[in-house]
Amino acid sequence: MTSTIPAGVSAEQEAVEQQLIDTVVASFNTTDDPRLRQLMQSLTKHLHAFIREVRLTEAEWSSGIRFLTEAGHITDDQRQEFILLSDVLGASMQTIAVNNQAYRDATESTVFGPFFVEDAPEIANGGDIAGGAPGQPCWVEGTVRDTDGNPVPGARIEVWEADEDGFYDVQYSDDRVSGRAHLYSDDQGRYRFWGLTPTPYPIPHDGPVGKMLAATGRSPMRAAHLHFMVTAKDMRTLVTHIFVRGDRQLEIGDSVFGVKESLIKDFAEQAHGAPTPDGRDLGTRTWSRTRFDVLLAPHTV
């Protein structure tokens, strides 16, 4: 690893610091699991390199420990502050990039986010995931195929999103289930459902991560999006979401760096009274529609 020790640090001091690194790294030499040994030794080297490069003060070290402690205290079954921290530092997206290398024209992955919930209710094709959440109705349809263009029947499609007020169901205290469900592609790989037109919203910023963003002049806002997780036999699991073309937040920036050009889709607004694809009567409400065709990479990639 290239030394980044600032000028002015004496050779004697540098030797003392390097000796400590060597000792800590060597302490992991007896680790039986070679992958764990690699992770711990590399982490040690990079962490010490950061401390030495910035000449971390004891007060700054204490502030960092306090920050992580506060993140732990605010984390519970419904809020994961450490995922938020990973997201806003770009670590989540970098991990996704490393583990989901491009394969032909397979759909790109993006951040998982902190609001996925296991065992979301199942809906039939054409069902409604909104569950009474406020927002403009949105018809979403598409296909699930492999990269050779073959339909993937029976793919499990998890979808979840915030309501128009910018909150996921788990952020409310009444145990509601809304804005999330799962469904399956049909025998031709097709799927369809009613959801809500996505709107921009801030990530939770009332905790330590929010304070960090405020201190560094960064916005907590996320671009409007709809989450997907698609799983199918012999296919690489896809975790992604789609964004709304024309959303001004796309120009300003996404706080977790999740936007990819290929995932920006047209959400065409429909006038009130316009006939819906399934004949649903929306009264005087406007609605939107979008299409998202999923291409899955083989799981061996």
Tell whether 30 is covered by a domain.
Answer: yes
Confidence of residue 300 (pLDDT cuts 50, 70, 90): confident
Averaged over 280-297, what is the pLDDT?
A: 95
The pLDDT of residue 77 is 80
Q: Give SS3 for 19.
A: helix
In 3D, which of 300, 296, 153, 155 has the Cα closest to residue 238?
Answer: 296
- Within this chain, do residues 214 and 106 fall inside the same structural domain, yes or no? yes
**Beta bridge mates, 243:** 225, 264
Together in a domain, 121 and 268: yes
75 lies in the same domain as 120: no
Query: Each residue of 205-222: pLDDT tens digit?
Result: 999 999 999 999 999 999
* pLDDT interval class at 284 (50, 70, 90): confident
Q: What is the mean pLDDT of residues 282-297?
A: 96
Decide if 49 is inside a domain. yes
Question: Are 241 and 271 contained in the same domain?
Answer: yes
- Say yes or no: 136 and 30 in one domain: no
What does the pLDDT average to over 84-111? Answer: 95
> How many domains does the chain fold into?
2
Residues 196, 292 within the same domain: yes
Residue 1 — pLDDT band, cuts 50, 70, 90?
A: low
Report if pTM > 0.75. yes
218 and 126 fall within a common domain:
yes
Bigger pLDDT: 210 vs 5: 210
Q: Residue 59: give the domain boundaries.
A: 11-81
Q: Tell me the CATH number at 213.
A: 2.60.130.10
Residue 87 lies in a domain: no
- CA-based nearest residue to 202, from 224, 218, 216, 222: 222
Give the pLDDT band (50/70/90) at residue 301: low
Does the pLDDT at position 123 exceed 90? yes
- 5 domain-assigned: no
Please give the DSSP secondary-structure letter assigned to residue 224.
-
The verdict on residue 88 lying in a domain is no
Average of pLDDT values for 69-73?
97
104 shares a domain with 74: no
pLDDT at 223: 98
Residues 108 and 223 placed together within one structural domain of the fold: yes
What is the structure's pLDDT at 3?
58
| pLDDT given for residue 4 in this prediction | 74
Same domain, 39 and 168: no
Query: 2 lies in a domain?
Result: no
Among left, alpha and beta (phi > 0; psi -120 to 50; other), residue 297 is beta
* Domain co-membership, 42 together with 148: no
